[in-house]
Amino acid sequence: MIAATGSLNKLPAAAMRMLSTVLTRAAVAVVLALVATACKDLPEGAKEMRVTGSWMRPEMLSYGWVTVHTKAYASAGDVAPGDIVVYRQPFGNHNILCAARAIGLPGDEVSLSDTYVFLNRRRLKRGDLEGNSNKDSKAASKTKSYMETIGEISYRVAYDAKLSALDRPEVEARVGPARVFVLGDSRDYRRPANSCVPRRNSTVEFGSIVGKLIAQRYR
């Protein structure tokens, strides 16, 4: 290795510049190949966006970059319950991008009672994960976690352990045409202080849905 390095040092300046150019181009080619490999499986219409995900903890962090499939849905009926959708939410004099989980589609009846979610009068299945909601033991003691299932999709939801049924308003809604009922996985962030909570019975207009979240870059 020392002899090789010494030989390189003896090369003319022009040859060194040429070698440097070749190595730089080779490195760029490798990087481009890696990027192409990483992106080849992404669907057409996939875009990176920065969204607010505080309502989706513990599945998501509060704020960061995600990949959104902007051509995943042609209508509200194309949304699958359990999908994480990204939508525009009015906030002050502008819109922000929020993420939430789709629960009900047009025509569905959705109701919330304490920590239970009912879809068309059937309670969603869930398993108790209390004590496993967060790696931080202090945070875990403040939350109750469950593994909730809708259709074939299971996901973790968290509730504030200090709140009771009286602290959680009951919600009953029939999802209207071209609307989707959404909830965050951090269920007690549904209070009005959370800027991502839709103003109309937790439903969003299909026209405000940007697409389906398919990947996160910041976890």
**pLDDT for 70-110, tens place per residue?**
999 999 999 999 999 999 998 878 888 999 999 999 999 99
- Local confidence band at 41 (pLDDT 50, 70, 90 cut-offs): low
Give me the mean pLDDT over the 138-163 stretch: 85
- Whether the Cβ atoms of residue 131 and residue 115 lie closer than 8 Å to each other: no
Q: How many CB atoms lie within 10 A of CB 126?
A: 18
Residue 30 has pLDDT above 70, yes or no: no
Which ranges constitute the DSSP H helices of 40-103?
Answer: none
- What digits encode the pLDDT tens for the residues 153-176? 999 999 988 888 888 888 899 999
Q: Which of 180, 164, 157 minimizes the C-alpha distance to 79?
A: 180
Residues constituting the chain: 219
46-216: which CATH number, 3.40.50.720, 3.90.230.10, 3.30.365.10, 2.10.109.10? 2.10.109.10
* Residue 108 tokens, joined: 């569905």
Residue 199 has pLDDT above 70, yes or no: yes
Residue 53, CB-side half-sphere exposure with 13 Å CA sphere: 22
